[in-house]
């Protein structure tokens, strides 16, 4: 603002100085056109030239404005339509949130014709159509979105697959995601939706093939990854047949990434496969090494299932560990099983009773009941079986039964 004031003052001072200078000049300007002669003082001539120049400038600006007027009107019209389309987009989104899907779909479809970027109108209309349960109309909106913005093909197809998954259209979603995996095999969202779809379809073969990419992109981590890896490894191992050689099982195990071979759940799966195939001694060596490196109750449980040759080998190892971990219920249970494998019934009983006192696992009580039966102690066996079933071992919830014609109670619990 200050600069403008200074400029105006300078112009005024300059004009006054110029007028005073022209006043002391005796020159004049004469213009002759045929028989016409125009004569004026120098000051008047200069002012006339300035006036003509200003007039021509004003006329030029006016003509330019008139020339641009249709374009400006057209631009203003489109700006207004675009603004209204954006407002309709927001209103449609609000209606979807409110559950007025039919109104939202109609509003968005209508506004898409005047929107500068109708992609989002079509996508939201597809969402509204899906919420109404009209999948055919939803697909039409998705096709319109593709036509409106072909450059966003991947994003649009991914949105369509997402809607198909939400609608539990598993076959359609699987087809869409298979195409997306060809276009973007490492896309995190594509892999995540593929996992959900394949699990819903029960397609274990495809899940196993997808597992390396899921690991690489960290779509699953921690227990969720283990829950997928363990059955996949079990399927690969069982595919070798009932009694495969140990080296065949080892080849499958080596296909597991090195970092994942330290996962106890996978180690337990591999060890069980070795045991089932008759390679208990090889399994024992692996389990012993793993447990000496990192203690894990799942591996202890598998160690208890071993039947080595000779059986004292595993039993001696377990009793050695018990000296370091005498209160470990899982290790006590494993020691009991190994003692039973060696026909050391007294030791097996002691270990089982100690494990049962420290654990409420039904499997411990069940094996203890079987041992009591072998030792011809039916009452102890009955109580252990009841504990295995989660029942009170010393009482019965049913009323006692009286013998016909007498007051003798049958089936009452002993004191």
Of 381, 377, 378, 410, residue with least CA distance to 396: 410
Q: What is the mean pLDDT of the chain?
A: 87
Per-residue pLDDT band for 413 (boundaries 50, 70, 90) equals very low
Residue where the block lists tokens 């869409």? 176
Q: Which two tokens stand for residue 314?
A: 């595993």
Residue from 158, 156, 154 nearest 173 by CA: 158
Is 117 a residue whose pLDDT tops 90?
no
Using CB atoms within 10 A of its CB, is residue 364 exposed (0-12), middle (13-18) or buried (19+)?
buried
Q: What is the pLDDT of residues 232-251, one digit of tens each?
A: 999 999 999 999 999 999 99
Surface-to-core class of residue 242, CB atoms within 10 Å of its CB (0-12 exposed, 13-18 middle, 19+ buried): exposed
Q: What is the pLDDT of residues 138-156, one digit of tens each?
A: 999 999 999 999 999 999 9
Rounded distance between C-alpha atoms, residue 233 and residue 238, angstroms: 9
CA 142 to CA 20: how far, in whole Å?
Answer: 78
Nearest to 280 by CA among 260, 302, 259: 302
Buried b (16+ CB within 10 A) or exposed e, 173-209: bbebbeebbeeeeebebbbbbbbebbeeeeeeebbbe
Q: Which two structure tokens, joined as six digits, stand for 14?
A: 């300059």
Give the mean model confidence (pLDDT) for residues 115-141: 90
pLDDT at 372 over 90: yes
Closest CA to 89 of 118, 65, 60: 118
Residue 189 confidence (pLDDT) above 50: yes
Q: How confident is the model at residue 165 (pLDDT cuts 50, 70, 90)?
A: very high
Q: Are 243 and 235 in contact (CB under 8 A)?
A: no
Instruction: Find out whether 193 and 173 touch, Cβ atoms under 8 Å.
Output: yes
The model scores a pTM over 0.85: no
Query: CA-to-CA distance for 301 and 306, rounded, in angstroms?
Result: 9
Kindly state the average pLDDT of the residues 38-56: 73
Residue 392 has pLDDT above 80, yes or no: no
Burial 75-98 (b: 16+ CB within 10 A, else e): eeeeeeeeeebbebbeebbebbee
The helix (H) or strand (E) run that includes residue 139 is helix 135-148
Are 298 and 263 in contact, with CB atoms under 8 Å apart? no
- Model confidence pLDDT, tens digit, residues 296-343: 999 999 999 999 999 999 999 999 999 999 999 999 999 999 999 999
Which backbone phi and psi does 410 adopt, to 5 degrees? -110, 135
Name which of 107-111, 185-189, 210-214, 310-314 the model is least confident about: 107-111
**85: Cβ–Cβ under 8 A, 6 or more apart, which residues?**
111, 112, 114, 115, 116, 118, 121
Q: Which residue bears the tokens 């675009």?
A: 82
- Measured distance CA(21)–CA(333) in Å, rounded: 120
Phi, psi dihedrals of residue 401, rounded to the nearest 5° = -105, 130
How confident is residue 32, by pLDDT bands cut at 50, 70 and 90? Answer: confident
Distance CA 411, CA 107 (A): 75
Report CA 3 to chain centroid distance, whole Å.
60
Residue 256 Cα distances to 204, 276, 324, angstroms: 17, 20, 32
CA nearest 308: which of 332, 331, 333, 286? 286
């Amino acid at each position: 603002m200050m600069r403008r004031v200074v400029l105006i003052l300078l112009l005024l001072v300059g004009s006054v100085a110029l007028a005073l200078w022209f006043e002391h000049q005796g020159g004049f300007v004469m213009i002759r056109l045929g028989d016409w002669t125009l004569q004026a003082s120098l000051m008047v001539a200069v002012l006339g030239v300035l006036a003509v120049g200003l007039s021509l400038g004003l006329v030029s600006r006016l003509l330019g404005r008139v020339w641009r007027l249709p374009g400006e009107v057209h631009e203003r019209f489109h700006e207004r339509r675009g603004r209204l389309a954006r407002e309709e987009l927001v209103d449609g989104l609000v209606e979807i949130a409110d559950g007025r899907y039919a109104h939202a779909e109609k509003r968005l479809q209508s506004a898409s014709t005047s929107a500068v970027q109708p992609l989002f109108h079509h996508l939201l209309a597809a969402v509204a159509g899906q919420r109404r349960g009209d999948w055919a109309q939803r697909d039409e909106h998705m096709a319109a979105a593709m036509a409106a913005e072909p450059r966003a093909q991947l994003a649009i197809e991914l949105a369509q697959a997402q809607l198909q998954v939400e609608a539990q259209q598993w076959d359609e979603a699987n087809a869409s995601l298979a195409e997306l995996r060809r276009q973007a095999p490492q896309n995190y969202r594509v892999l995540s939706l593929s996992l959900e779809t394949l699990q819903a379809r029960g397609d274990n073969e495809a899940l196993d093939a997808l597992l390396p990419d899921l690991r690489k992109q960290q779509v699953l981590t921690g227990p969720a990854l283990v829950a997928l890896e363990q059955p996949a490894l079990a399927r690969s191992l069982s595919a070798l047949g009932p009694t495969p050689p140990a080296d065949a099982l080892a080849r499958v195990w080596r296909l597991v990434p090195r970092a994942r071979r330290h996962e106890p759940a996978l180690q337990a799966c591999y060890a069980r496969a070795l045991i089932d195939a008759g390679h208990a001694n090889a399994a024992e060596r692996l389990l012993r090494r793993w447990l000496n490196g990192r203690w894990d109750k799942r591996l202890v449980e598998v160690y208890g299932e071993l039947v080595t040759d000779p059986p004292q080998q595993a039993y001696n190892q377990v009793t050695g560990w018990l000296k370091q971990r005498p209160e470990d219920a899982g290790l006590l249970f494993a020691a009991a099983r190994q003692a039973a494998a060696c026909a050391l019934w007294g030791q097996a009983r002691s270990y089982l009773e100690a494990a049962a006192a420290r654990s409420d696992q039904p499997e411990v009580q069940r094996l203890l009941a079987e041992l009591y039966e072998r030792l011809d102690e039916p009452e102890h066996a009955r109580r252990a079986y009841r504990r295995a079933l989660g029942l009170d071992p010393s009482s019965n919830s049913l009323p006692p039964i009286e013998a016909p014609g007498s007051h003798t109670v049958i089936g009452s619990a002993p004191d």
